Structure 1
Amino acid sequence: MSSTPSTTPRGTSSGSGWAAGGTMFAGVLMVVSGVFAIIEGIVALANDEVYQHIGNYTFKFDLTTWGWIHLVVGVLVLVAGAAILKGSEAGRIAGIALTCLYVIFHFMWLPYQPLWSLIAIAIGVFVVWALCTDVQRTREP
């Protein structure tokens, strides 16, 4: 057995290829999710009767309000995803924060689109994981 210290930073594995590839994939998912959110927002703004809520729900907003929420968050997620694809550290930090917000809004959006909201939440959780676990890329010069 060798007693030489490992050069791998504590708390990270030497096989961070998954995390680095996951970060690139997370950036692509953010761009696509941003486009979908923009489309959801435009649809909600254009026609209030497209989405029907299921039952009584605490987070019951006017669909015009939801349209603006989806539109603004979609644009921000799209821009952060593009910054991640360019390798920006600020984009990665913004991506984590905006994706958390995106997941919260889709939880609140559950009564209007239950299946898509669950899919969006799952995608958001993966994106946050991928962006948080790729620490080795940010430490290299």
Structure 2
Amino acid sequence: MTQSAGAVPKASDGYSGWVGWIGFAGVMMMLLGTFHAIQGLVALFNDEYYLVTSTGLLVSLDYTAWGWVHLIGGAVLVAAGLGVFGGQVWARAVGVAAAMLSAVVNVAFLAAYPVWSLMMIALDVVLILALTVHGSEVKARR
């Protein structure tokens, strides 16, 4: 049975019920990307917002540099999230790599905003799980 492009696979088409994890992963990638973009914009426009000075961070960069890192990383996550909905393998690979990088960046950002960073790390771990365990179920059958 063939599927049209953009169609959502169903369990009746021979896919497991776990395929919903990929939809979840795509949404989470876009949400995390948006969160990173917001965090980056705050760092760019109001660097006094964060609780510590940039010298108190694990990696000593000014907040302008952190802002650009978060903003660019957020855009990559949103783009890859859109690719996940299309069943693109490259998008899953980018999503896993970006989620790993996001977790590392948020560890470095813990001193500035601990609750936010811990939340982001937890979401990154769930995202990696969803993309690696159930990602292949989205590919359309030939």
TM-score class, shorter: 0.7 to 0.9
Counterparts in 2 of 1:54-133, with a 5 A limit?
56-133=56-133
Q: Which amino acid aligns with 1:40?
A: Q
Q: Give the drift of 1:15.
A: 8.4
**C-alpha distance in 2 between matches for 1:40 and 1:56:** 17
For the residues of structure 2 that align with 1:49 and 1:42, how far apart are their CA atoms? 13
Contact 2:57/2:110 (CA < 8 Å) preserved in 1?
A: no
Q: Give % identity.
A: 35
> Residues 105 and 16 from structure 1, CA distance in 2 versus in 1: closer, same or farther, beyond 3 angstroms?
farther
**TM-score, length of structure 2 as denominator length:** 0.80
Bigger Rg, structure 1 or 2: 1
State the distance in 1 between where 2:68 and 2:121 align. Answer: 19
Q: CA deviation at 1:136?
A: 4.5
Output aligned runs, 1:11-50, within 5 Å: 16-18=16-18, 20-50=19-49
Structure 1 gaps of 5+ residues are 1-13
In 2, the alpha carbon distance for the partners of 1:32 and 1:136 equals 22
For the structure 1 residues 44 and 135, does the alpha-carbon distance in structure 2 shift closer, same or farther, using more than 3 Å as the test? Answer: closer
The alpha-carbon distance between structure 1 residues 96 and 70, as it changes in their structure 2 partners (threshold 3 A), is same
Q: State the aligned residue count.
A: 127
Partner Cα separation in structure 1 for residue 77 and residue 136 of structure 2: 23
TM-score, normalising length: structure 1: 0.81
| Consecutive unaligned residues in structure 2, runs of 5 or more | 1-13
2:47 counterpart SS class: coil
